[in-house]
Amino acid sequence: MTGPEVHPRVPDDATGQRPDGARAPGGEGAEHGGTLHGVREWLTRLPRPVRVPLVVVTGCTLLLAGTAMLVLPGPGLLVMFAGVAVLSAEFPWAGRLVVRIRLLVRRVWVPVRRWLGRER
Q: Which is nearest to 45 in space by CA: 68, 11, 22, 75?
A: 22
2 confidence band (pLDDT: 50, 70, 90): very low
Q: Is residue 73 part of a domain?
A: yes
Residue span of the structural domain in which 97 resides: 34-119
What is the spatial distance between Cα 16 and Cα 100, in angstroms, rounded to a whole number? Answer: 17
Q: Is residue 85 part of a domain?
A: yes
Q: Is residue 14 part of a domain?
A: no
Q: Is residue 4 part of a domain?
A: no
Q: Is residue 18 part of a domain?
A: no
Number of domains into which the chain is organized: 1
Overall average pLDDT of the 17-35 stretch: 48
| pTM higher than the cut 0.75 | no
The per-residue pLDDT for range 110-120, each reduced to its tens digit, is: 888 888 887 66
